[in-house]
Amino acid sequence: MKLNDIRDNQGARKGRVRVGRGIGSGLGKTGGRGQKGQKSRSGVSIKGFEGGQMPLHMRLPKRGFNNIFAKDYAEVNLGQLQALVDGGKLATDGVIDHAALKAAGVARGGKDGVRLLGKGELKAKLSLKVAGASAGAKAAVEKAGGSVEVIVVVPAAEKAAAKKGKTLAAKKAAKA
């Protein structure tokens, strides 16, 4: 066996069909496209077209919408926090923030921060720093002897402007 003897297995590579090369090829004249009409031409895309009848995707009712301004919070329940404390994955001393919850494996995603929800029971005394908390969750943490600090997460557009040394308020003042 030499390097110049190495070849693909028989039939591993198949050449493309060359159409429109005379009647003898079997794919001459119309080149396998039938005859006439839009679909016999090149560059045709008629997906969803139903001959002028209202297409199905337009006949069906539309419901709801996607809010492009919706905040993306990682939702964490009190029961999850208690389970982490019991399992020793979350330290009760110090402030627990998004980074600590992410490291513990409960705050997945959530580019706008963490939102604390009141499902479950909390017995541990925790000091939390989150982007949002439900009234029930806040009450339960304070009942257990802890505290909840709700911080304002700065959106990406404002962060970018702050890096350049301009605030959005300064931009608006400049326009006026």
pLDDT along the chain (176 residues), means of 10: 94 93 91 88 84 92 92 92 90 88 88 92 91 93 92 71 68 67
Place of tokens 């009450």: 139
Mean of the per-residue pLDDT values for the chain? 87
The pLDDT tens digits of the residues spanning 9-18 come to 999 999 999 9
Q: What residue spans of the chain are helical by DSSP H? A: 56-59, 78-87, 98-104, 135-143, 156-163, 168-175
- Residue 38: predicted pLDDT: 85
Q: Report pLDDT digits (tens) over 25-41.
A: 999 999 999 988 888 88
Structural domains of the chain sorted by starting position, each given as residue range(s) with its CATH number in brackets: 74-150 (3.100.10.10)
> What is the C-alpha separation between 127 and 144, in angstroms, rounded?
11
